[in-house]
């Protein structure tokens, strides 16, 4: 099946359009993925800070209890 120049140009143009759309979609997904990773990292840092605060608080309470027990016994 032979294609005329006009048909070949149309096919070429539609393939180009499809490639452009694919590249655009990939780029947008990368941007979204980067944004989502930023959100995940932010949540992870907050969680780690909260855990660190809880550890410090627990250690402070344990020292306080140890001091009271040491004074009483």
* pLDDT attached to residue 59: 92
The pair phi, psi for residue 56, each rounded to 5°, is: -60, -45
Q: What is the mean pLDDT of residues 21-29?
A: 73
Ramachandran region, residue 58 (left: φ > 0; alpha: ψ -120 to 50; beta: rest): alpha
Number of domains in the chain: 1
pLDDT at 67: 92
pLDDT over 90 (residue 37): no
Task: Rank 17-21, 40-44, 61-65 by mean pLDDT and report only the highest.
Answer: 61-65
Q: What is the pTM of this model?
A: 0.49
Look at 68 and 3; give whichever has higher pLDDT: 68
3-state secondary structure the chain: CCCCHHHHHHHHHHHHHHHHHHHHHHHHHHHHHHHHHHHHHHHHHHHHHHHHHHHHHHHHHHHHHHHHHHHHC
Boundaries of domain holding 57: 3-69
């Amino acid at each position: 099946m032979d294609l005329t120049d006009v048909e070949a140009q149309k096919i070429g143009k539609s393939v180009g359009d499809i490639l452009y759309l694919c590249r655009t979609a990939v780029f947008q997904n990368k941007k979204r993925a980067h944004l989502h990773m930023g959100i995940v990292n932010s949540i992870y840092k907050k969680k780690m800070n909260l855990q660190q605060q809880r550890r410090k608080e627990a250690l402070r309470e344990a020292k306080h209890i140890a001091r009271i027990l040491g004074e009483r016994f």
